[in-house]
């Protein structure tokens, strides 16, 4: 994996990216690949992927010092680049001060190199004060600013001490691992780890992948929007960007997914903002993506394997079924089996007390039933349906191609119901009626046209149970409170598995590999698996320079 992390106060426009590249076809090809992902660059972190996900650019938009403070990685090389004179607001040293140099030093190890062509009148003083050795002396600094080549190396004369609350983890030696669960969470983790060289065994109690909530026939990939850009909104934007990259790379457009955009109706806010058009939104078939991930090199799927407990054997873990038989043995294990992870957590706490795993440290994960109503376009022409998906208090995906041994054609989907698993289950007919009510709100004209199909029971049913946490955020991170944890959790995606699964997988893989995170350290802490009841404190523990976020 090759990582680049770039910080800018204002990203250049697409025209600037492409300017002057026509004379060099190789540069133009690279610029075009960058331009395809160059959208929605609001303040914050943005992960862009190239070369099949093996070259990653993390673009950080915002104040230079604040963005550096929000990092959790150690750089091998640093480049300070001055932008053209016609864009002084984006120059690397336009808002440079000694605190910026300190923030930069936090991202360096002893031996990290630094290079750049910049205004060096005060830059060298700040860098030297923070532990950098100037390798090539710049020209004598005159009263006016002088641009000069600058080369330096981070080599402080004092022992390096780091007072950051959360340090970037050391890279783990690449080996073999097991992932329990073959839904969106487990398959995305497997794909991210396999891309980095891990040999991954994915175990699931079902015979086939995506047998649970990830078997949803079609789902919407839409970012969450809030007036104050809360934690959920910021996380969903990052997650949607990463999921779109995977869809473009692995799925058949028009059959498995389609970037149609989505209209978000503002139905329950009065007064409130008008309806929102999401141009980057898409519909997507989760099961197809799960299968594509599990087909990647380095991944093996093992169905019909119910993991009931774990047993430590030297530096490895034996995964056992209910009879105590060994299903698999691996150096590291990821619990990505939604609500089933809770039972495994309790088993680890009881059977292996020396690990220090405490279930109360983790968010309480509970099941929420959901039902989708759907049918083929037999009674109505395609023109009767909206041109794009609509969501708000529920959602409608109007035109999805279906190809199975039994059914072929275009189908519509409306849903979904939301009922805690602890309550008595409602009948399918009651849930269909609730979905029809949602349809009437989202698209009254279509609701009237389809009401007859609901009345005569001409609609089909899909239902399953989601796994949600109290704060509606997934939980990803280690189980053991040790420096080198071997048991990890990635679960609790709720109704936003499409938005969160790739993001959580990349966060987990980055922590295993000591790589830059795809989001700022504050948002990463909001996802931490061991947040438990301390979530409110973690949520408020943000760099002051970053936007203050509301509770999800």
* Residue at a domain's end among 437, 468, 499: 468
Q: Is residue 418 part of a domain?
A: yes
Within a domain: 88: yes
**Cα–Cα distance, 52 to 246 (Å, whole number):** 9
Structure tokens at 440: 């009437």
Following CA atoms 83, 87, 93, 96 in sequence, which dihedral angle do they give, to the nearest 10 degrees? -150
Q: Is the bond leading into 271 cis (omega within 30 degrees of zero)?
A: yes
67 and 109 share one domain: yes
Instruction: Give the Cα separation of 446 and 448 in Å (integer).
Output: 5
Strand duo 176-180 + 147-154: pairing: unpaired
Contact 468, 368 (CB under 8 A): yes
Neighbours of 103 (CB within 10 A): 20
Q: Please count the structural domains in the chain.
A: 3
Residues 358 and 287 in one domain: yes
The pLDDT assigned to 549 comes to: 28
Closest C-alpha among 396, 427, 551, 418 to residue 494: 418
Token couple for 212: 């649970």
Tell me the β-bridge partners of 169: none
Structure pTM? 0.90
265 pairs with which residues across the strands? none
Identify whether residues 189 and 323 lie together within a single domain: yes
Assigned domain for 351 exists:
yes
Instruction: Give the whole-angstrom CA distance, residue 486 versus residue 225.
Output: 36
How does strand 55-61 pair with strand 75-81? Answer: unpaired
Q: CA 332 to CA 383: how far, in whole Å?
A: 52
Q: Which of 434, 450, 468 is the last residue of a domain?
A: 468
**354 shares a domain with 318:** yes
Together in a domain, 385 and 464: yes
Is there a single domain that holds both residue 418 and residue 445? yes
Same domain, 422 and 518: no
Neighbours of 394 (CB within 10 A): 21
Last residue of a domain, which of 417, 435, 468? 468
d(CA 327, CA 300): 13
Let me know whether 319 and 432 are in one domain.
Answer: no
Residues 226 and 310 in one domain: yes
Q: Are residues 352 and 215 in the same domain?
A: yes
Whether residue 94 is found in the same domain as residue 181:
no
Q: Contact at 8 Å (CB) between 64 and 100? A: yes
User: Where are the extended beta strands (E) located within 42-107?
Assistant: 44-50, 55-61, 75-81
Assess if residue 169 is contained within a domain: no
Domain hosting residue 318, numbered range: 174-263+280-365+470-552
User: Is the CA virtual torsion 11, 14, 15, 20 positive or negative?
Assistant: positive
Q: Are 42 and 94 in a shared domain?
A: yes
**Residue 160 falls within a domain, yes or no?**
no
The CATH code of the domain that includes 200 is: 3.50.50.60
* Contact call for residues 242 and 267 (beta carbons, < 8 A): no
- Residue 41 has φ and ψ, to the nearest 5°, of -85, 70
Query: DSSP readout, 152-201?
Result: EEE--SS------SSPPPPPPPP-EEEEE--SHHHHHHHHHHHHTT-EEE
**Nearest-10 crossing angle of helices 231-250, 497-513:** 90
pLDDT tens, residue order, the chain (552 aa): 899 999 999 898 888 888 877 777 888 888 888 998 999 999 999 999 999 999 999 999 999 999 999 998 999 999 988 655 434 444 444 578 899 999 999 999 999 999 987 666 678 889 999 999 998 655 544 433 445 578 999 999 998 876 554 545 678 889 999 999 999 999 999 999 999 999 999 999 999 999 999 999 999 999 999 988 999 999 999 999 999 999 999 999 999 999 999 999 987 666 666 799 999 999 999 999 999 999 999 999 999 999 999 999 999 999 999 999 999 999 999 999 999 999 999 999 999 999 999 999 999 999 999 999 999 988 677 677 899 999 998 999 999 999 887 888 999 999 999 999 989 999 999 999 999 999 999 999 999 999 988 887 789 999 999 999 999 999 999 999 888 899 999 999 999 999 999 999 999 999 999 999 999 999 999 999 998 744 434 433 333 233 322 222
End-to-end CA distance of the chain: 33
């Amino acid at each position: 994996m090759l990582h680049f992390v770039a910080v800018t106060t204002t990203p250049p426009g697409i025209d600037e990216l492409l300017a002057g590249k026509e004379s060099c076809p190789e540069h133009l090809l690279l610029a075009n690949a960058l331009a395809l992902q160059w959208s929605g660059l609001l303040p914050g972190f943005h992960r862009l992927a190239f070369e099949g996900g093996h070259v990653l650019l993390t673009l950080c938009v915002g104040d230079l010092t604040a963005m550096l403070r929000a990092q959790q990685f150690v750089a091998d090389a640093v480049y300070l680049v001055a932008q053209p004179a016609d864009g002084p607001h984006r120059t690397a040293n336009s808002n440079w001060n000694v605190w910026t140099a300190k923030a930069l030093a936090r991202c360096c190890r002893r031996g990290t190199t630094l290079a750049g062509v910049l205004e060096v009148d005060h830059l060298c003083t700040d860098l030297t004060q923070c532990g950098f050795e100037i390798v090539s002396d710049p020209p004598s600094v005159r009263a006016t600013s002088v641009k000069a080549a600058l080369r330096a190396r981070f080599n402080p004369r004092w022992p390096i001490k780091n007072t950051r609350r959360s340090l970037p983890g050391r890279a783990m030696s690449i080996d073999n691992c097991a992932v329990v669960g073959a839904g969106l969470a487990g398959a995305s983790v497997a794909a991210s780890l396999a891309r980095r060289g891990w040999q991954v065994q994915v175990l699931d109690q079902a015979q086939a992948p995506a047998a649970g909530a990830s078997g949803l026939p079609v789902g919407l990939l839409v970012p969450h929007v809030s007036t104050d850009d809360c934690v959920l909104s910021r996380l969903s934007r990052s997650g949607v960007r990463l999921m779109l990259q995977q869809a473009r790379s692995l799925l058949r457009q028009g059959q498995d997914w389609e970037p149609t955009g989505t209209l978000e109706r503002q139905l329950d806010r009065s007064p409130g903002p008008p309806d929102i058009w999401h141009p980057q939104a898409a519909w997507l078939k989760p099961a197809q993506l799960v299968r594509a991930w599990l087909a990647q090199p380095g991944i093996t799927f093992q169905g019909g394997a119910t993991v009931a407990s774990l047993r430590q054997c030297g530096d490895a873990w034996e995964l056992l079924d209910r009879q105590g038989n060994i299903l698999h043995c691996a150096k590291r294990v990821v619990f990505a089996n939604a609500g089933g992870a809770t039972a495994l957590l309790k088993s680890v706490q009881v059977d292996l007390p020396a690990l220090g795993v405490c279930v109360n440290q983790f968010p309480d994960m509970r099941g929420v039933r959901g039902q989708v109503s759907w049918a083929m376009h037999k009674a109505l022409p395609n023109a009767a349906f909206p041109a794009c998906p609509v969501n708000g208090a529920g959602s409608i995906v109007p035109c999805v191609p279906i190809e199975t041994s039994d059914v072929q054609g275009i189908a519509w989907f409306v849903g979904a119901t939301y009922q805690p698993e602890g309550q008595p289950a409602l009948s399918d007919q009651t849930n269909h009626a609730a979905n029809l009510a949602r349809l009437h709100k989202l698209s009254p004209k279509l609701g009237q046209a389809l009401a007859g199909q609901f009345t005569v029971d001409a609609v089909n049913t899909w239902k399953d149970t989601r796994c949600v946490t109290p704060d509606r955020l997934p939980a990803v991170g280690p189980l053991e409170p040790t420096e080198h944890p071997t048991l990890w959790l990635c679960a609790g995606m709720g109704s936003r598995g499409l938005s969160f699964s790739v993001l959580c997988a990349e966060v987990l893989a980055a922590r295993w590999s000591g790589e830059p995170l795809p989001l700022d350290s504050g948002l990463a802490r909001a996802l931490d698996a061991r947040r438990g009841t301390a979530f409110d404190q973690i949520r408020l523990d943000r760099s002051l320079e970053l936007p203050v976020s509301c509770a999800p």
